[in-house]
Chain A
Amino acid sequence: MAETALTNTIEPPARPGGWRGIAADWSSDQRAFKNVSWGKAMMWIFLLSDTFIFSCFLLSYMTARMSTTVPWPNPSEVFALTIGDKRIPLILIAIMTFILISSSGTMAMAVNFGYRRDRVKTAALMLATAAFGATFVGMQAFEWTKLILEGVRPWDNPWGAAQFGASFFMITGFHGTHVTIGVIFLIAIARKVLRGDFDVERRGFFTSRKGHYEIVEITGLYWHFVDLVWVFIFALFYLW
């Protein structure tokens, strides 16, 4: 991708491949990850830290679920919807998962068009991703409302262990917050893309740094991460 001079970096001289290449990079000067910009490196390290946060949440939930003496409510029944006259288990969660995974697809396409400097398509795909994300959060709000109406509270629920409601609201709430933040960032950056900020290297309002198309990919990293976390929540909370 020779046309994508994204940042003010200069190609370093050719380096050996494979493990030798990794050793050469780490024993070299200036940068340990060659061709990785500061922003991207920072996002990766942040995601590593965030992984630990979600892992702690999920491990705590699993500890509570395994150690409780009261029966745990059956997620297939709790998260079932009656459509027509049929009761379909996990249907809403399945749709939510499908939507979120689809949003990863549109995000990946947005990154691709960003590198091609196609302003309109990049912005449109980012907005589509944001719309998928907002739909996801909306459906989560619906699910929360439904459960609350059925009597689920963080401290109590009609079917079994109190930790069910506590874990559910805490983990999906924390994940939903991540999605919401992602939606806000997607909209803000789509606006910048559409306005052509990255073509004229307009300076950021707060940071006064020049903007680059790479920020689309960095936002994408965050978005894919949030999707990936959802897969784990889906598997460990709903399918278990």
Chain B
Amino acid sequence: MVDVPFDTVAGIPPAEVGEVDLYHPKSWWTRYVFSQDAKVIAIQYSITAMSIGMVALVLSWLMRLQLGFPGTFSFIDPNQYLQFITMHGMIMVIYLLTALFLGGFGNYLIPLMVGARDMVFPYVNMLSYWVYLLAVVVLVSTFFVPGGPPGAGWTLYPPQAILSGTPGQDWGIILMLASLILFIIGFTMGGLNYVVTVLQARTRGMTLMRLPLTVWGIFTATVMALLAFPALLVASVMLLLDRLLGTSFFMPTLVEMGQLTKYGGGSPILFQHLFWFFGHPEVYIVALPAFGIISDLISVHARKNIFGYRMMVWAIVAIGALSFVVWAHHMYVSGMHPYFGFFFATTTLIIAIPTAIKVYTWVLTLWRGDIHLTIPMLFALAFIVTFVNGGLTGLFLGNVVVDVPLSDTMFVVAHFHMVMGIAPIMAVFGGIYHWYPKITGRMLNEVLGRFHFWVSFLGAYAIFFPMHYLGLLGMPRRYHDIGETAFVPASAHDLNAFMSVAALIVGFAQLVFLFNLVWSLFKGKEAGGNPWGAASLEWQTPETPPGHGNWGKELPIVYRWAYDYSVPGAAGDFVPQNEPPAGLLAQGAGP
């Protein structure tokens, strides 16, 4: 080891890994289409995810039209309504949020934030996107096959999901399951890249405890996804076999249309266990990246270091671990053993502790900060509010005795839209407004952005706040038309109409956002390299947008954490992560 040049700088160990062998694109096709550059792959992921998200948005309009004005829109029949809710849920949770947070934000930010030139295996990373695209194409094809998309709800519970009488039983469910299997294969290829990049490809000086919380959130979520998606894969394969080969993994003995089916002896509860062993971690797979992004946005735009960084990291890890032992709180009414309910209610309520730690530390970061009400900051504040709101109703539903009467009512719909619909999408918007200048070199339009924020934020409350009330009244979810009942007063129908109008308006505000994305690409204000004065590494690239290989000739060296804002005695109001300590510069040892 004598020949290793020990060029430590201020205690920074020497480089352990030689320069990576980057793939250099030779043509337009390999530069922009079959690109192996994580930044291009990130944009491809994001555009695909947002496009399919638009389909889900339109589906939500159709659902709200039906719920708000039952009987008015004769083209929405009950079968279609069920297909709309199924596809809306599936697309939003998996194909939009998971893909956008991990494939989009993960691909773009991880290499830049840890100081790597690219993901560790760019070719596999590229394959990940193309398999994801194939999964989306298969998913979209369900709209055009005989019988249409599946209509069993996004949870696809058997036996209902594959019995005749459920819409989409012919083709839809088969393609849906195939699409899920493809998605998991594609995600695994990307996910392995993200994890190995964070663990093994950081730059000199970048310790795990100096990572921005965004990376911690995405990293933990990816590890969780690699361990949770297998359960969904297995459930999908077995359900596919039940449907195609007539096996009876999940299918009990059943009478259908007066005739005994070919099935017998299977366990529908087994599917629920497998599904929710994936499904509950999935909630945190979309929440943890949002936690991370929000932490960074708040720190940057309040010009204050994040409060309790270490506690934030451990809270993320603790939530990730705990979320694997709470899955059966989705199954309180499934008829499982009551002691199970006791156990899972306890673990569920324990998760409130690390989550509350995070909320308190966000608030303490804001406390006495120099809060700039920029658009990313507005979205970050909106995230905290909506997340606390959804989290509190989670405490209701986590208790067995409260959950049983509220199960399958609009209260549940309101809860999970608040906590894993609105809140993460607020983080997505905040993140896009925050990092768009780095990705394109231009700022998003301010006026359109503020319009988008206020309509989305207030509109979200207009849609989902009354929904809690409807749920408490006992209005069931997944009903095409509630009709006349004794327990739902006529005024509830007015409330439904109001929520539908709000949903349409919020939907149109998203079109304004999409317009802003395209318009600002050409006409937006020039941003420069670091418009927000942020300290983390991705803002310190030599070029904006970052070039191929991210860092020019030399990889950056990291001397500090990502949250040095308003440091007493410092020259500026922030100190970039790669700025050497003052004493070092005097010695002339800096880069």
Question: Which of the candidate stretches B62-70, B228-236, B533-541, B563-571 sits at the interface with the other chain?
Answer: B228-236
Interface string of A1-36 (1 = CB under 8 A from B): 000000011111100000000000011111111101
Whether A29 lies near B13 (C-beta < 8 A) is: yes
| Structural contact, B196 and A70, CB atoms closer than 8 A | no
B357 CB–A CB distance under 8 Å: no
A41 partner, pick from B200, B248, B265, beta carbons under 8 A: B200
Q: Does B179 contact A (CB under 8 A)?
A: no
Count residues of B near A (Cβ-Cβ below 8 Å): 59
Contact A33 B23, beta carbon cutoff 8 Å: no
In the assembled complex, the Cα of A183 lies from the Cα of B195 at a distance in Å of 27
Q: A166-B241, A208-B23 are in contact. Are A45 and B249 (CB under 8 A)?
A: no
The reply to whether the CB of A56 lies closer than 8 angstroms to some CB of chain B is: yes
Cβ-Cβ contact count across A and B, 8 Å cutoff: 162
Query: A30 is contacted by which of B4, B206, B262, B270 (Cβ under 8 Å)?
Result: B206
Q: Which residues from chain B contact A53 at a C-beta distance below 8 Å?
A: 230, 233-234
Asked whether, in the complex, the Cβ of A70 is within 8 Å of the Cβ of B200, the reply is no
Closest to A203 in B: B21
Q: Which residue of A lies closest to B19 (CB)?
A: A8
Contact A32 B17 (CB under 8 A): no
Chain A, residues 26-64, CB within 8 Å of chain B (1/0): the string is 111111111010110110011011101101110010011
Residues in B196-230 with C-beta less than 8 Å from chain A:
196, 199-210, 226-227, 229-230
Which chain A positions have C-beta within 8 A of B204? 29-30
A219 within 8 A of B: no
Interface 1/0s, chain B 169-208, versus A by CB < 8 A?
Answer: 0000000000000000000100011011001111111111
B274 at the interface (CB under 8 A from A): yes
In the complex, chain A residues whose CB is within 8 Å of the CB of B19: 8
Known: A52-B231, A60-B270, A70-B265. A166 touches B188 (CB 8 A): no
Interface residues of B in 1-54 (CB under 8 A from A): 1, 4, 6, 12-19, 21, 23
**Separation of A63 and B205 alpha carbons in the complex (Å):** 49
Q: Is B270 within 8 A of A41, CB to CB? A: no
Q: How far is the CB of A147 from chain B (nearest CB, A)?
A: 15
Closest to A11 in B: B1
Q: Say whether, besides A27-B207, A30-B206, A207-B123, A155 and B18 are in contact (CB < 8 Å).
A: no
Residues of chain B contacted by A158 (CB below 8 angstroms):
none
Residue-wise interface mask of A (206-219) relative to B, using a CB-CB cutoff of 8 A (1 in contact, 0 not)? 11111000000000
Residues from chain A with a CB closer than 8 A to the CB of B226 are: 45, 48-49, 52
User: In the complex, are the beta carbons of B196 and A155 less than 8 A apart?
Assistant: no
Chain A residues with CB below 8 A from B558, complex form: 29
A26 partner residues in chain B, CB cutoff 8 A? 208
Task: Give the residues in chain A near B266, CB-CB below 8 Å.
Answer: 64, 163
Q: Which residues of B contact A50 (CB under 8 A)?
A: 230
A29 touches B207 (CB 8 A): yes
A38: chain B residues within 8 A (beta carbon): 120-121, 196, 200-201
The answer on a CB contact under 8 Å between A28 and B234 is no
Report yes or no: B227 in contact with A49, Cβ–Cβ below 8 A.
yes
Closest to A70 in B: B265
- With a CB–CB cut-off of 8 A, which chain A residues contact B267? 63-64, 67
Are A45 and B196 in touch, CB under 8 angstroms? yes
B4 contact from A11, A33, A34, A165, Cβ within 8 A: A11
Q: Are B18 and A10 in contact (CB under 8 A)?
A: yes
Cα of A9 to Cα of B15 in the assembled complex, Å: 9
Asked if A166 and B203 sit within 8 Å, CB to CB, the answer is no
A33 in contact with B199 (CB, 8 Å): yes
Q: Which residues of B contact A141 (CB under 8 A)?
A: none
The answer to whether A32 touches B200 (Cβ under 8 A) is yes
Chain B residues, CB < 8 A from A170: 237-238, 241, 247
Closest to A34 in B: B16
Complex-state Cα separation, A30 to B206, whole angstroms: 6
Q: Is the CB of B248 within 8 A of A36?
A: no
A29 touches B205 (CB 8 A): yes
Q: Does A68 reach chain B (CB closer than 8 Å)?
A: yes
Are B17 and A68 neighbours in the complex by a CB distance under 8 Å? Answer: no
A42 to B17, CA, bound (A): 16
Please report the C-alpha to C-alpha distance between residue A170 and residue B249 in the assembled complex, in whole angstroms: 11
Residue of B nearest to A68 (CB): B265
* Cβ-based interface call for A161 (8 A): yes
Q: Which residues of A contact B17 (CB under 8 A)?
A: 8-10, 30-31
Q: Which residues of B contact A45 (CB under 8 A)?
A: 192, 195-196, 226
Additional A-B contacts beyond A13-B6, A31-B199, A163-B265 (17; CB < 8 A)? A9-B18, A10-B17, A11-B4, A13-B1, A13-B13, A26-B208, A29-B202, A31-B202, A38-B201, A56-B230, A56-B235, A60-B270, A155-B248, A163-B248, A170-B247, A207-B23, A209-B23
Ranked 8 nearest A-B pairs via Cβ: A8-B18, A166-B247, A52-B230, A56-B234, A53-B230, A155-B246, A207-B123, A38-B120
Using CB atoms and an 8 Å cutoff, list the residues of chain B in contact with chain A: 1, 4, 6, 12-19, 21, 23, 120-123, 188, 192-193, 195-196, 199-210, 226-227, 229-231, 233-235, 237-238, 241, 245-249, 262, 264-267, 270, 274, 277, 558
Q: List 11 A-B contacts (CB under 8 A).
A: A9-B16, A27-B208, A30-B15, A41-B196, A41-B200, A45-B226, A55-B230, A60-B270, A162-B265, A170-B237, A209-B23
